[in-house]
A and B are shown apart, each in its own frame.
Chain A
Amino acid sequence: MGEKPNQANSVSPSATSAAPAGSKSSDLLSRHFSIRSLKLKTKEQELLLRVTVLCLVYVLAFITRLFSVLRYESMIHEFDPYFNYRTTLFLTEKGFYEFWNWFDSESWYPLGRIIGGTLYPGLMVTAALIYWTLKVLRFAVHIREVCVLTAPFFASNTTLVAYFFGKEIWDSGAGLVAAALIAICPGYISRSVAGSYDNEGVAIFALIFTFYLFVKAVNTGSLAWSLASAFGYFYMVSAWGGYVFIINLIPLYVLVLLITGRYSMRLYVAYNSMYILGMLLAMQIRFVGFQHVQSGEHMAAMGVFFLLQVFYFLDWVKHQLNDTKLFQAFLRITVTSAVVVGALALGVGTASGYISPWTGRFYSLLDPTYAKDHIPIIASVSEHQPTAWSSFMFDFQILLFLFPAGLYFCFKRLSDATIFIVMYGLTSMYFAGVMVRLILVATPAVCLISAIAVSATIKNLTQVLRAKPKIVHSCSSKGGSSAKTSSKGLLDQSQPIGKNGAIALLFGAFYLLSKYATHCTWVTSEAYSSPSIVLAARGAHGNRVIFDDYREAYFWLRQNTPPDAKVMSWWDYGYQITAMGNRTVIVDNNTWNNTHIATVGRAMSSYEDEAYEIMRSLDVSYVLVVFGGVTGYSSDDINKFLWMVRIGGGVFPVIKEPDYLVNGNYRVDKGAAPKMLNCLMYKLSYYRFGELTTEYGKPPGYDRARGVEIGNKDIKLEFLEEAFTTSNWIVRIYKVKPPKNRW
């Protein structure tokens, strides 16, 4: 990023020198206007090409993410972005200090939530800054448009960083390819299309920016770069909880460098300043606070920091002592005592409770089976599922084939920078295998490593093409082309591929890359651009049918319920209800209080009278359920119901999963478990559904999402009454009746 203006400046004089040369004075004309002056030098040509390509990639990365705006409209997608949008709105209206000290009483009723202290403010502040800048420049935009386009904008910036990163670890060719690959890579697009206003949108930019600056700092050993990387890290910490990946990967990288004997002063400077400054800066984020010195997840970084001091100290002593034997003895004593002291400190810290143990999410990354057995709330989220190979294929396509080749190239030309990218690639690849959502973190690494493979291969091939005519004159020029193969001049005579072979291979490479482009465009357009708040389906005649039920329901809530109404729903819809319906919710997507969520799960899975007690105690006035039986929408509450039971049963043992199953099967038809047929969720979902014919030739009460006729068609509600059902029955809202008169 930092170099970008220089590049642009350096290209403009060369361009202007060519253009006005013809139009200005005749003296200049006679002197300069010749074919030669119009013709740029090879270096300038290359620069011009490079900048043009980069600009095109920059634009491409932006426009490829606009499918959703074109297909639907400019709106915020999914669940979490609605919270981010709501907070950004608050920030722009009330200012930063109000935002920082905001206690939100509209969510997690009756507990409330300290927003300022429990979020990563990076995204909101970024969007607000963009908004204020635009306002200063007199562009009258709505804050929503800014939010919608923040992610694509940062995706474009990521391509620039990818270019510089690629240039740093390999060469500018690899950088260009990396920029192009990452611009359209579905793994990244999945979280950065227009409208997906989520932390990841800016965090991936911050992530590879930090990495780039750190690698630059290690390569140069300059304080300025390490300072910059500390600030990059600060931005990352402010934007996303995934910063834990950085604070563990960088120490791991330093450790590997130490073990492989690549310790250097450059490394010492880069790591120390980055760690200390980055830590101090990160503490300014309230949500992170003192975790850098208190949480087990950050201890690796601190351990490596002290280890580095030991290394430095030993180096200094070695310099002072000339006696090797004495030094060996000294070395043994120091290292042993250092290790013992470190282990003791860690042990004492953990035992005394000063250092908190690892969180469940972190633990489940190291031992992937942990979450499945112990933390249902983590295991229930669909983006926390382990990744099947087809998901990798879907998100990376040919990059997967190029990745091992890129690894091989990196190992062939091992340097501090390539070691870093290899480690980044492998660790993130492993984590991507554990959780689907972490494919996102792996994407930049995969793009960079694949870019090395593509660039190195194509470079070799084109060099073969060019060097061929000269083979008669000299062999030495060709020696340069295959110098990377580390073969001697003699071996060069036996080029494995002649000119024809090279052409064929080049065509193959372009075929593959164009396949990649096709794939990415298709995936972006068809799979990753649906807002999920508005559903689209194909009608019987192949036309598009739009279900806008969610917004219908939320606006109904906004306009027809008292402002202090409390809405109970499963936590997935909490953010949307507060943001769009402007009503208080019991639980939302910030799953910070498991007991509260379990209480809602318990209410949903109890009989109506028991549920009524719970709802009274929570002051619930409306219950909202999502139901897909009419439209065939499969991610509705009935399909999520088992998780409600599991989470509820995890805290309240009265709720038992087997009560809702028949021989281990989850059913809603006549053979369903009696408790299932009479629990609140079932009643609310299927109330009056038995009267409705959903499909021709099927009996009334035929559930299209599960393909069965429901088991309980005669549902009577005693303590609730239907308040509103959207046009396609996707959202159903019930009013909790007031208690009966007692006299």
Chain B
Amino acid sequence: MVSKIPSLAALIPLFLLLASTVADSDLAAELLALQSRSESGVIHLDDRAVSRFLTSPKTPRPYSLLIFFDAEHLHDKAELRLTTLKNEFALVSSSFIANNQHNPTVRSKLFFCDIEFKESQSTFGLFGVKSLPHIRLVGPDLKSPKDSDQMDQADLSRLAESMAAFVESKTKLSVGPIARPPLVSKMQFIFMVAVLLICTPFIIRRILAGDTLLHDKKVWLFGAVFVYFFSVGGTMHNIIRNMPMFLPDRNDPSRLIFFYQGSGMQLGAEGFAVGCLYTVVGLLLALVTHALVRVRNRSVQRFIMIIALFISFWAVKKVVYLDNWKTGYRVHAFWPSSWN
């Protein structure tokens, strides 16, 4: 798509020259032509194109515009999710076009556009866009761009599906099902199946012969400890909830919070730290009973032994302390009441 932008930008003045007298319907036709040049059907606008297609034509315009406000220099800010949203936006666009392939009247009712901040700062001012991500729908009857409908955070939450729902509710046009490109293309899939089928007999032969990686006990052991580490650290929780590794402190943004207080939630770094503490203790116990006996030097043995004990003790204490701190529970023993 990036390679298309210069050519499109070059085309727009051309259109402007031609278009001093064209009627509204021709504008829609132009937009359709622009659309067909982009792979996903997202039209790249700049200030001049905005004035041509949006501000200068008389209302009601024969089409609505859904505009994605983009800023390339902010793409590396992960928390804005600009690149993901842009891809999803393109997905909605291509699905809309694909689903209305045989319905040109619907197709020319809605166009998906994006605007780059560096090129078109005055349009950003025109719409009053102060923060990103920002998507606006300009309906046919709208006079001032500032009054156009903005997509809420909630509409972005489920990505393309919620964007499509937003469009459908506001424009009454049907976007239809979102066609996501499959993870592996059809050719790749067929190729993979073929490779798998060819490999199967060889693999099975090696299994029967008993000399695969799977017959190595150590591989299984490491796998097992990893699964353990993965589970008890709450990594699944972090994946499902999309938890960040750490949060900036609300009161003092320069400091980072690694441990979250409150039992229902946790941060990424927290889980890894605790998982490591768990694993270390267990493995030290195994090391002491099984590996240390092979060391010949007695004082070295004792030294390692003491260190291992010390580390285990510290780790257990630490985890119990952290758990009490996190959950706010104070565990205590129950004595017979006569002892008090």
| Interface, chain A (partner B; CB < 8 A) | 258-261, 328, 331-332, 335-336, 339-340, 368-369, 372-373, 385-394, 398, 400-409, 411-412, 414, 422, 426, 429-430, 432-434, 453, 456-457, 460, 482, 485, 487, 491, 494-497, 501, 504-505, 508, 512, 515, 518-519, 521-523, 525-527, 653, 656-658, 661, 663-664
What CA separation (Å) do A405 and B312 show in the bound complex?
Answer: 12
Are B305 and A433 in contact, with the CB atoms below 8 A? no
B residues in contact with A385, CB < 8 Å = 264
- The residue from A434, A485, A508 contacting B293, defined by CB atoms under 8 A apart: A485
Is there a chain A Cβ closer than 8 Å to B13's Cβ?
A: no
What CA separation (Å) do A387 and B197 show in the bound complex?
Answer: 39
A679 to chain B, nearest CB (A): 17
A423 nearest in chain B by CB position: B224
- The residue from B220, B239, B292, B312 contacting A369, defined by CB atoms under 8 A apart: B239
B residues in contact with A388, CB < 8 Å = 234, 237, 263-266, 271
What CA separation (Å) do A453 and B302 show in the bound complex?
Answer: 22
| Interface, chain B (partner A; CB < 8 A) | 152-155, 158, 165, 169, 197, 200-201, 204-205, 207-208, 210, 212, 214-215, 217, 220-221, 224-225, 227-228, 230-237, 239-241, 263-266, 270-271, 274-275, 278-279, 281-283, 285-286, 288-290, 292-296, 298, 301-302, 305, 309, 312-313, 315-316, 319-320, 323, 326-327, 329, 331-334
A-B contact pairs, 9 of them (CB 8 A): A260-B214, A368-B239, A387-B237, A392-B232, A403-B232, A409-B286, A487-B293, A494-B295, A661-B154
A448 to chain B, nearest CB (A): 14
What CA separation (Å) do A516 and B274 show in the bound complex?
Answer: 18
What CA separation (Å) do A518 and B315 show in the bound complex?
Answer: 19
A427 nearest in chain B by CB position: B227
What CA separation (Å) do A332 and B197 show in the bound complex?
Answer: 12
A349 to chain B, nearest CB (A): 18
Are A369 and B240 in contact, with the CB atoms below 8 A? yes
Are B286 and A404 in contact, with the CB atoms below 8 A? yes
Are A259 and B214 in contact, with the CB atoms below 8 A? yes
Are B227 and A429 in contact, with the CB atoms below 8 A? yes
Are B293 and A491 in contact, with the CB atoms below 8 A? yes
A residues in contact with B289, CB < 8 Å = 456-457, 460, 485
What CA separation (Å) do A398 and B232 show in the bound complex?
Answer: 12
What CA separation (Å) do A393 and B225 show in the bound complex?
Answer: 17
B interface SS class? helix
Q: A390-B327, A401-B316 are in contact. Are A411 and B217 (CB under 8 A)?
A: yes
A residues in contact with B207, CB < 8 Å = 258-259, 261
B277 nearest in chain A by CB position: A401
- The residue from A339, A402, A434, A501 contacting B240, defined by CB atoms under 8 A apart: A434
A409 nearest in chain B by CB position: B286
Q: A260-B215, A407-B225 are in contact. Are A332 and B205 (CB under 8 A)?
A: yes
A431 nearest in chain B by CB position: B231
Are A402 and B282 in contact, with the CB atoms below 8 A? yes
What CA separation (Å) do A386 and B237 show in the bound complex?
Answer: 5
A410 to chain B, nearest CB (A): 9
What 4 pairs across the A-B complex have the smallest Cβ distances? A404-B282, A408-B286, A433-B236, A386-B237
Q: A331-B208, A332-B205 are in contact. Are A408 and B282 (CB under 8 A)?
A: yes
Are B200 and A335 in contact, with the CB atoms below 8 A? yes
B87 to chain A, nearest CB (A): 17
A residues in contact with B279, CB < 8 Å = 404
Are A261 and B210 in contact, with the CB atoms below 8 A? yes
Q: A259-B207, A394-B327, A426-B224 are in contact. Are A433 and B334 (CB under 8 A)?
A: no
What CA separation (Å) do A504 and B131 show in the bound complex?
Answer: 63
Are A433 and B237 in contact, with the CB atoms below 8 A? yes
B residues in contact with A336, CB < 8 Å = 197, 200-201
A525 to chain B, nearest CB (A): 7
Are A328 and B234 in contact, with the CB atoms below 8 A? no
A501 nearest in chain B by CB position: B305
Are B331 and A518 in contact, with the CB atoms below 8 A? yes
Are A389 and B221 in contact, with the CB atoms below 8 A? no
A interface SS class? helix
- The residue from B155, B290, B312, B331 contacting A485, defined by CB atoms under 8 A apart: B290
Are A494 and B293 in contact, with the CB atoms below 8 A? yes
- The residue from A406, A407, A496, A527 contacting B305, defined by CB atoms under 8 A apart: A496
What CA separation (Å) do A644 and B285 show in the bound complex?
Answer: 50
Q: By CB atoms of chain A within 10 A, which of B153, B264, B282, B332 has the most?
A: B282
What CA separation (Å) do A522 and B335 show in the bound complex?
Answer: 11
Are B239 and A335 in contact, with the CB atoms below 8 A? no
Are A368 and B240 in contact, with the CB atoms below 8 A? yes
Q: By CB atoms of chain A within 10 A, which of B197, B200, B234 has the most?
A: B234
B residues in contact with A401, CB < 8 Å = 278, 281-282, 285, 312, 315-316, 319
Are A426 and B227 in contact, with the CB atoms below 8 A? yes
Are B215 and A261 in contact, with the CB atoms below 8 A? yes
Are A522 and B333 in contact, with the CB atoms below 8 A? yes
Add 8 more A-B contacts to A404-B279, A433-B231, A522-B331 (CB < 8 A).
A261-B207, A261-B210, A386-B234, A391-B263, A434-B236, A453-B285, A497-B305, A526-B329
Are A328 and B323 in contact, with the CB atoms below 8 A? no
- The residue from A414, A430, A515 contacting B231, defined by CB atoms under 8 A apart: A430
Are A429 and B231 in contact, with the CB atoms below 8 A? yes
What CA separation (Å) do A494 and B217 show in the bound complex?
Answer: 27
Q: A388-B264, A408-B282, A501-B305 are in contact. Are A400 and B154 (CB under 8 A)?
A: no
B79 to chain A, nearest CB (A): 15
A450 nearest in chain B by CB position: B282
A residues in contact with B283, CB < 8 Å = 404-405, 408
A410 nearest in chain B by CB position: B224
What CA separation (Å) do A258 and B207 show in the bound complex?
Answer: 9
Are B282 and A407 in contact, with the CB atoms below 8 A? yes
Are A389 and B220 in contact, with the CB atoms below 8 A? no
Q: A405-B286, A432-B231, A434-B236 are in contact. Are A390 and B309 (CB under 8 A)?
A: no
B residues in contact with A505, CB < 8 Å = 309
B100 to chain A, nearest CB (A): 20
- The residue from A456, A512, A523 contacting B316, defined by CB atoms under 8 A apart: A512
B284 to chain A, nearest CB (A): 8
Are A398 and B200 in contact, with the CB atoms below 8 A? no
A503 to chain B, nearest CB (A): 13
A residues in contact with B313, CB < 8 Å = 508
B290 nearest in chain A by CB position: A485
Are A368 and B236 in contact, with the CB atoms below 8 A? yes
What CA separation (Å) do A526 and B232 show in the bound complex?
Answer: 23
A520 nearest in chain B by CB position: B331
Q: A260-B215, A389-B232 are in contact. Are A657 and B154 (CB under 8 A)?
A: yes
B residues in contact with A426, CB < 8 Å = 224, 227-228
B174 to chain A, nearest CB (A): 13
Are A400 and B332 in contact, with the CB atoms below 8 A? no
Are A411 and B215 in contact, with the CB atoms below 8 A? no
Are B225 and A404 in contact, with the CB atoms below 8 A? yes
What CA separation (Å) do A492 and B233 show in the bound complex?
Answer: 38
What CA separation (Å) do A658 and B220 show in the bound complex?
Answer: 48
A454 nearest in chain B by CB position: B285
B residues in contact with A400, CB < 8 Å = 232, 278
A residues in contact with B241, CB < 8 Å = 386
Are A433 and B230 in contact, with the CB atoms below 8 A? yes
B residues in contact with A487, CB < 8 Å = 293-294
Are B208 and A389 in contact, with the CB atoms below 8 A? no
B225 to chain A, nearest CB (A): 6
What CA separation (Å) do A398 and B323 show in the bound complex?
Answer: 12
Q: A433-B237, A512-B316 are in contact. Are A408 and B200 (CB under 8 A)?
A: no
Q: By CB atoms of chain B within 10 A, which of A400, A412, A501, A518 has the most?
A: A400
What CA separation (Å) do A339 and B278 show in the bound complex?
Answer: 41
Are A389 and B270 in contact, with the CB atoms below 8 A? yes
A447 to chain B, nearest CB (A): 15
Are B290 and A412 in contact, with the CB atoms below 8 A? yes
Are A408 and B290 in contact, with the CB atoms below 8 A? yes
B residues in contact with A412, CB < 8 Å = 290
B226 to chain A, nearest CB (A): 10
Are A393 and B282 in contact, with the CB atoms below 8 A? no
B296 to chain A, nearest CB (A): 6
B312 to chain A, nearest CB (A): 8
